[in-house]
Amino acid sequence: MAETVFGLDLPHHDVVHGLLLAAGLREGLSEPLPVDTSPPQPIPDTGPITLTATAVAEPPVE
């Protein structure tokens, strides 16, 4: 799904043997939002930024 929907190129070894994020899907989801086809707008340069990440799940115990 990630390759098809988002155009990602996932390494075969990682898909078969690695840890991947996953999400469950349920039936009865609402209709998808419309796709914005307007041209992208430039992002103004506001100087340096700091990115942070937060773990949302622990890896499975082997």
Mean pLDDT, 10 residues at a time, over the chain (62 residues)?
73 79 72 83 82 71 73
- Per-residue tokens: 24: 């469950």
User: CA 23, 28, 34, 35 torsion: positive or negative?
Assistant: positive
Angle ∠(57,17,54) on CA atoms, nearest 5: 20
pLDDT of residue 2: 65
pLDDT of residue 37: 87
pLDDT of residue 55: 66
- Predicted TM-score of the model (pTM): 0.25
